[in-house]
Amino acid sequence: MSICLSAVYIDCMRSITTTDNFIDKLATLVQKKRPGWEGLDDHVHSLAPLELTSNADVVRILPTLSGDQLYAAIEVVGVLELRRAGPILVPFMESHDTHLLWCAQRALSDMASRRTYRPLARIAATHPDVETQYQACYAISWTHDRAAAPILLELYCRSDLPPRVRGQAAEGLANTLGYTDRRRRIFRQSAAALIQGLRDDSAEVRFWSAFALGQMHARQASPELARVVAEDTAFCPGWWYVHEEASDALGHIRGVDVPDRDCLGWTETGEPRVP
């Protein structure tokens, strides 16, 4: 009997040691990948009571977690780019918990799971809350994955969507197409749409269209950007004047230095400042 109890005790201690070693190594790895993210290793150690022994365990247990442990697990799958966790994270993008939504958005951008792009685009296109739409579009925009560009172009071309969402889609096109072959069809289609967007009714859409064309070095946009520089007097809330961004875009296209600009930013309640 005592031998059996000893065996059980040894197995239990091995399990504890395995779990502790895994969490310690996981915390060290995640913090190493994000050295500027202060306290990230402490977040990861909050998962220690769950007796996890592998990355697969972290993904598997995600739907059952809440609070700080859920935030920590999402941070882990994002930093480690565990793409199989992507579909699990998408529903969190519709959460009323703003911190959970933010954690999910950042993780989805980091992991760039292509299975999530269409579901995220549906949220960006149909959710009743504009902020949620924006965050879903943001998650796609910052994958820096060229495969996301066609989806971002669809969102950008939806004139029925809020300007904030369409502006974010334009920034996403800059992120995904900034270093791509300009002969590609998606580049030519996106550049044509963005050039047309320089005449949009929304200053925000015009601003981000100019930004994207500059980052993409779309030479075909030069005449229209020059028109914006000469004629557009609108201000993009939170940032600077549309004609200033168009001037910067021309500078990028021509390969000349552009000035550093200070954005006006946002108020404590999240409203963009204007002059």
Q: Which CATH number fits domain 144-261: 1.20.1050.40, 3.90.1150.10, 1.25.10.10, 1.10.10.60?
A: 1.25.10.10
Query: CA nearest 102: which of 142, 63, 45, 65?
Result: 142
What pLDDT band is residue 268 in, cutting at 50, 70 and 90?
confident
Annotated domain spans of the chain: 144-261
Q: For 105-131, what is the mean pLDDT?
A: 97
Q: What is the pLDDT of residue 9?
A: 33
Q: What is the pLDDT of residue 8?
A: 37
pLDDT digits (tens, 9 = 90+) for 129-145: 999 999 999 999 999 99
pLDDT digits (tens, 9 = 90+) for 50-86: 989 999 999 999 999 999 999 999 999 999 999 999 9
pLDDT digits (tens, 9 = 90+) for 155-202: 999 999 999 999 999 999 999 998 877 788 999 999 999 999 999 999
Q: For 22-49, what is the mean pLDDT?
A: 90
Q: What is the 3-state secondary structure (H, E, C) of the chain?
A: CHHHHHHHHHHHHHHHHHHHHHHHHHHHHHHHHCCCCCCHHHHHHCCHHHCCCCHHHHHHHHHHCCHHHHHHHHHHHHHCCCHHHHHHHHHHHHCCCHHHHHHHHHHHHHHCCHHHHHHHHHHHHHCCCHHHHHHHHHHHHCCCCHHHHHHHHHHHCCCCCCHHHHHHHHHHHHHHHCCCCCCCHHHHHHHHHHHHHCCCCCHHHHHHHHHHHHHCCCHHHHHHHHHHHHHCCCECCCCCEHHHHHHHHHHHHHCCCCCCCCCCCECCCCCECCC
